[in-house]
Amino acid sequence: MCSIMGYCGKSMPLETFQKGFDRTISRGPDDARIIHIGNGLLGFHRLAIMGLQPEGMQPFSLDGDYLICNGEIYGFRPVKEQLKQKGYRFYSESDCEILLPLYREYGVDMFRMLDAEFALVLYDHRRDKFIAARDPIGIRPLFYGKDENGDMLFASEAKNLVGLCKKIIPFPPGHYYDGENFVCYRDMTKVETVCEDDLETVCRKIREKLVAGIEKRLDSDVPLGFLLSGGLDSSLVCSVAAKLLKKPIETFAIGMDTDAIDLKYAREVAEYIGSHHHEVIITKEDVLEALPKVVALLGTYDITTIRASIGMYLVCKYVHEKTDIRVLLTGEISDELFGYKYTDFAPDAQAFQKESEKRVRELYMYDVLRADRCISVNSLEARVPFGDLAFVEYVMSVDPAKKLNTYGKGKYLLRHAFEGDYLPHDILMREKAAFSDAVGHSMVDDLKAYAEEQYSDKEFEAGCKKYAFATPFTKESLLYRDLFEQYYPGQAEMISDFWMPNKDWEGCDVQDPSARVLANYGDSGK
C-alpha cells in the first residue's frame, strides 16, 4: 500500500516527524526513507508492488522536483513510452515514476488525465511550492493539518498526525492542493449528460467496463489474492479474474464458528470457478479481542464500518501471516452505484440518484476506509475494480429510473449484465446479507451484548452527553466512540456522521445501520 508523509516548513525536528511517520510502517515494510528538501521533509514507507528493484524506491526526483506517491497508475506503460520520446529517462519499472515528468509537461492538469488510485505530495522547486492530490474516489487515503507554527502536513493516515496537528482533516477526493488552495479537478458524482442507452446496451457496457476495470488491476509484479464473501460483488470480481488469468486464483472467505452465513456460498463460487479456496473461522473471543485494534487502525467510530471491518481485518491478517500474497482485489463500491437494500425505499428516480451521489462522495469515510485500513495494516495492497473511474462514470450517468429496483431484484442491472457462465444462477440472483451480518449474525449480536455489559443505563446517558458532535445513540455506538477518543482525541469531525439509511424515506427511519432491521430484508443472508 505504501505510506507517505510530507511536512511543508523548516521548524519541525526530524525526530518529531519520524515518530509520527513510523506509526504506519506496516503500510510499507520493505524500505523507508525521509529526505530534507530545504523547505520541508518527505517520507516514504515502501510496499513494493510494481517495479521491485531498489531504483523504484521513493521519493522520486527530477531536476530539483521531488515526489512521494501511494498509488497505482493504470496504463502507465504507453504513457511512459510517450514521455521517453520527449527525452525523459526512467530508472525503474515503477508506475509512479512517470508522475514527475507528467507534472513537468502538464502541471496540475495531469491529475484529470490519470487513470489511477493515488495520493501524492510533490515539491515544485521552481515555484517553491508543495502540491498534494488525491484520486477522484478517495481509494488511497490522505489527511492534512497544520502544526503549532501553521505549517502544513500531509500523511497517509490520521494516526501519523495525532499530536502534530490540532485538527486533522481528510483530504477531499478529486482535489489537488496547489500550495495555497484546494481545487476540484474531477467530481465523480457530476453527470453532464444522462445516458439514454436501452437496458440491454446499459448491461452490456456495465459488463465490458467492469471486465476492463478488473483486467487492469491484475497487473502486478507480486502475487494476487481475492476476498470472496459469497455475495454478488466479490463473486463477480473473482469469476472475471479467473477467466482472464486462465489459472486458479487464490480466494479467501471468513465466517463465525456458529453461523457463518456466506461461507457455503463462497465455497460454491470457489468450486465453480476452480479457485484455491481458504476459509478463516473466527470466534466470539476473536471478535472482542480484535475490536480495540480495529478501531485504532480505522480511525472511525462509525457502527457499520467497525462491524464490517472486524471480519475483514482478521481475514487479511490470515493472508499476511499464511501466504506470500501482496495484493488483494475486493468487491467494494458496488452498492453505492447500484443500490443498498434501503434504496428500494427511494421515493423516485431522482431521490435514488441523489442518494447514490451522496454515497459516492462519502465512500472515503466508510467502505473505502474499511478496505484500505484492514488490508494495509497487514502490509497488503487493496485494489477495487468497482471503483474504476470509467466504470463509475458510466454507471453514474445511467438513467436513474433504470437503476431503481422495479425488477423485483436489487442491483438488477449488474446481475443481468453477467448472466451467462460467470456464476451459478442462484448465486448471481441471490440477495446477500451485509458483510458484517454475513460473517455471522452472531458477531453483531455479540458486539451489542458486550456493549450492554460496559455501561449501565445511567452511565450510557452520561457518556452520550460528553459528545456534542455525532452523539452516540446506543451503547454500542458509545463504546466505539469511547475507543475512538482514546486513539484520536478530539478528531471526531474526520467522519461526517454515522452511516445510516436515509431517515427521510418511509421505511428507513431505523436506529441500526444493518439491513436486518429493514422490512424488505426478506431472505437476505439465508
pLDDT digits (tens, 9 = 90+) for 52-107: 889 999 999 999 999 999 999 999 999 999 999 999 999 999 999 999 999 999 99
Domain end among 154, 184, 214: 184
Q: Is residue 108 part of a domain?
A: yes
- Give the DSSP H/E element, type plus range, for residue 381: strand 381-383
For residues 302 and 411, membership in a common domain is answered with yes
Cross-strand pairs, 252? 227, 278
Residues 161 and 214 in one domain: no
Strand order in the sheet with 116-124: 60-62, 65-73, 116-124, 129-134, 175-177, 182-184
Please answer whether residues 514 and 439 qualify as being in contact, where contact means their C-beta atoms are separated by less than 8 angstroms: no
At 178, phi and psi to the nearest 5? -95, 15
Same domain, 151 and 208: no
Residue 161 pLDDT exceeds 60: yes
Residue 25 structural domain: 3-184
CB atoms within 10 A of CB 217: 22
Residues 266 and 400 in one domain: yes
pLDDT tens column, 337-365: 999 999 999 999 999 999 999 999 999 99
Same domain (yes/no): 209, 126? no
Please report the pLDDT score of residue 432 as a whole number: 64
Q: Is residue 523 part of a domain?
A: no
For residues 96 and 224, state if they share a domain: no
Phi-psi label, residue 251: left if phi above 0, alpha if psi -120 to 50, beta otherwise: beta
pLDDT above 70: residue 524? no
Q: What is the pLDDT of residue 516?
A: 80
Whether 258 and 145 share a structural domain = no
Instruction: Decide if 115 is inside a domain.
Output: yes
End position of a domain, from candidates 184, 214, 236:
184
Q: Which residue out of 2, 69, 96, 203 is catalytically annotated?
A: 2
Question: Does residue 145 share a domain with residue 255?
Answer: no
> CB count, 10 Å around CB of 296?
16
The answer to whether residues 263 and 134 belong to one domain is no
Side chain identity at 241, as an amino acid letter? A
Instruction: Indicate if 304 and 425 belong to the same structural domain.
Output: yes
Whether 142 and 224 share a structural domain: no
SS3 of 401-448: HHHCCCCCCCCHHHHHHCCCCCCCHHHHCCCCCCHHHHCCHHHHHHHH
How far lies 341's CA from each of 113, 176, 252, 427, 433, in Å?
35, 34, 25, 17, 9
Query: Residue 119 maps to which CATH number?
Result: 3.60.20.10
Q: Is residue 244 part of a domain?
A: yes
Question: What's the number of domains the chain is made of?
Answer: 2
pLDDT recorded at residue 522? 63
CA–CA gap between residue 476 and residue 454 (Å, rounded) = 9
Does 451 fall in a domain?
no
Indicate the SS3 state at residue 252. strand
Is the Cβ–Cβ distance between 1 and 46 less than 8 Å? no
Side-chain-facing half-sphere of 466: CA atoms under 13 Å: 14
What is the spatial distance between Cα 226 and Cα 469, in angstroms, rounded to a whole number?
37
Asked if residue 136 belongs to a domain, the reply is yes
Nearest-angstrom CA–CA distance, 146 and 446: 40
2 is catalytic: yes
CATH number at residue 220: 3.40.50.620
Confidence of residue 299 (pLDDT cuts 50, 70, 90): very high
Q: Are residues 170 and 72 part of one domain?
A: yes
pTM for this one? 0.95
Contact 392, 384 (CB under 8 A): no
The pLDDT, as a whole number, for residue 436 is 55
Residue 58 lies in a domain: yes
Q: Model confidence over 220-268: pLDDT tens digits?
A: 999 999 999 988 999 999 999 999 999 999 999 999 998 777 898 999 9
What average pLDDT does this structure show over 386-394?
98
Q: Which three cell numbers stand for residue 150?
A: 501553521
The edge-to-edge listing of strands for the beta sheet with 152-155 is 31-36, 41-46, 3-8, 152-155, 143-146, 169-170
Encode pLDDT of 276-297 as tens digits.
999 999 999 999 999 999 999 9
Note whether residue 482 is domain-resident: no
